[in-house]
Amino acid sequence: MSNLPSEPEFEQAYKELVSTLENSKLFEKNPEYKKALQVCSIPERIIQFRVTWEDDKGQCQVNNAFRVQFNSALGPYKGGLRFHPTVNLSILKFLGFEQIFKNALTGLSMGGGKGGADFDPKGKSDNEIRKFCVAFMRELNKHIGADTDVPAGDIGVSPREIGYMFGAYRAERNRWEGILTCKGGNWGGSLVRAEATGFGLVYYVQHMIQYASGGKESFKGKRVAITGSGNVAQYAALKCIELGATVISLSDSKGCLIATDEQGITPDLVNMIADMKVKRKQLAELANSSEYSNKFKYIGDGARPWIHCGKVDVALPSATQNEVSGEEAKKLMESGAKFIAEGSNMGCTQEAIDIFEASRKDKKGDACWYAPGKAANAGGVAVSGLEMAQNSMRLKWSAEEVDAKLQDIMKNCFENCLNTAKEYVPFGEGEFPSLVAGGNIAGFSKVAAAMLDQGDWW
């Protein structure tokens, strides 16, 4: 990687994976997998293109767009599209690299990829967003397909954008096929897809709590701090509340909202926030309203809740990458946090992960147990995989059927991470197995074995 331009996000993701593989027994048992690591760290294909579109003033605008098709050993490339001004190749490579192993952990037949553009939907009219999506798909349609590459939504790409792009694909190709997931419910989308990442995150943590407590504890009575206020955070909050927890925080790019009463954040408030997000409003407006000013405090300047929310049992970073620093990791443990799981991709810095892992070894049963995003937030792409299956069969499963399958996938994912860690990573008596190592090894091993079977390296 030294001969490439600096790509800090991708390099962080790569080093995090490599460190756990090299500190395990994996290469001792499977020395041939070292070459697989070298091969799969380079994308099979990167597509970069420009998108020109006309704004409401009749002026031509141009954006950079990408699709990173990282690895297809297990199935068609699968991963979201992100529309955000910060999008660059480093971020998409990090997300695509993580996606390879996340998809492997679902047990479904999906490879890994990611894409997007530095287009910002905020402040744009529906007409401008539609024009951009049509122009974007005019090029992307040449490189995707139901058995080739199936993108989904991500930051800045809601069902609205998915709909515009799907319509553009049909117009370009004269075909109806499941080339995008997160589609509308009445034209090929799956029930529970919107909820899946947040619900799956909570299901995963539920297994962590049950394992750590010997089945004696659950979410009931737990104080849960969450960052973000988008899709993942909203549904994680709702599921936590349903299971008896008290949600004490949400956040956006401008700051964080922290509950100051015992009730915490209610389902009605989550629904109100969801409506605000659709209208591109900030949480500060809610905190400053007369109805809620005495129930919450709002901390601006982009603050995160970790050092402000008092006692915490469970922390769920669910906004974006690197949203828990080393200092914040220490503060969370001082606040009593016993479980932290990433609803966002690479939500913790490497320094924070090292602190959590050191706690796992030193404090044993009293540690703060960490779960990486590639395992804990795999529920979203898992239900995208179920959406692909429904499209292929021209069927639609009930919400109960999809949710049951999601729960099984997250249970199997947790057990796979746990048992793989026990097999490959030494741990002392009373220590929890390393879920980050288990997730990395289990996901990578599955991909490496498929690559070896298919002759991807000699």
- The secondary structure of the chain in percent helix, strand, coil, rounded to multiples of 5, reads 50, 15, 35
Cβ burial, residue 8 (10 Å; 0-12/13-18/19+) = exposed
Q: Give the residue from 226, 235, 228, 443 showing the smallest Cα distance to 341.
A: 226
Task: Cite the annotated binding site by residue number.
Answer: 78, 99, 102, 153, 197, 231, 384
Claim to verify: residue 196 and residue 136 sit in the same structural domain: no
Claim to verify: residue 154 and residue 234 sit in the same structural domain: no
Distances (CA, A) of 350 to 7, 13, 344, 353, 371: 16, 9, 14, 5, 13
Round to the nearest angstrom and report the end-to-end CA distance of the chain: 21
Claim to verify: residue 195 and residue 156 sit in the same structural domain: no
Handedness of CA 198, 324, 341, 449 (dihedral sign): positive
CB 15 within 8 A of CB 94: no
Domain contains 118: yes
pLDDT in tens, the chain (458 residues): 456 678 999 999 999 999 999 999 999 999 999 999 999 999 999 999 999 999 999 999 999 999 999 999 999 999 999 999 999 999 999 999 999 999 999 999 999 999 999 999 999 999 999 999 999 999 999 999 999 999 999 999 999 999 999 999 999 999 999 999 999 999 999 999 999 999 999 999 999 999 999 999 999 999 999 999 999 999 999 999 999 999 999 999 999 999 998 899 999 999 999 998 878 788 988 877 777 778 899 999 999 999 999 999 999 999 999 999 999 999 999 999 999 999 999 999 999 999 999 999 999 989 999 999 999 999 999 999 999 999 999 999 999 999 999 999 999 999 999 999 999 998 888 999 999 999 999 999 999 999 999 999 76
Looking at 109, 139, 173, the residue that finishes a domain is 173
Claim to verify: residue 215 and residue 167 sit in the same structural domain: no
Looking at 116, 140, 173, the residue that finishes a domain is 173
Residue 58 domain boundaries: 40-173
Q: What is the DSSP letter of 181?
A: S
pLDDT tens digits, residue range 388-440? 999 999 999 999 999 999 999 999 999 999 999 999 998 888 999 999 999 99
Claim to verify: residue 218 and residue 154 sit in the same structural domain: no
Claim to verify: residue 197 and residue 105 sit in the same structural domain: no
Domain contains 62: yes
Domain contains 28: no
Claim to verify: residue 284 and residue 396 sit in the same structural domain: yes
Claim to verify: residue 307 and residue 335 sit in the same structural domain: yes
Task: Cite the annotated binding site for substrate by residue number.
Answer: 78, 99, 102, 153, 384
Domain contains 33: no
| Active site positions, annotated | 114
User: What CATH number has the domain bearing residue 48?
Assistant: 3.40.50.10860
Looking at 140, 173, 206, the residue that finishes a domain is 173
Claim to verify: residue 375 and residue 408 sit in the same structural domain: yes
Task: Cite the annotated binding site for NAD(+) by residue number.
Answer: 197, 231
Claim to verify: residue 168 and residue 226 sit in the same structural domain: no
Q: Give the residue from 242, 203, 201, 240 showing the smallest Cα distance to 223.
A: 240
Domain contains 426: yes
Claim to verify: residue 247 and residue 312 sit in the same structural domain: yes
Domain contains 19: no
Number of structural domains (the chain) is 2
Q: Give the residue from 199, 151, 231 showing the smallest Cα distance to 402.
A: 199
Domain contains 421: yes
Percent of the chain residues past pLDDT 90, beyond the cut: 91
User: What CATH number has the domain bearing residue 392?
Assistant: 3.40.50.720
Claim to verify: residue 200 and residue 80 sit in the same structural domain: no
Domain contains 1: no
Q: What own/partner pairs with CB < 8 Å and gap ≥ 24 does 285-290 have?
A: 286/257, 287/257
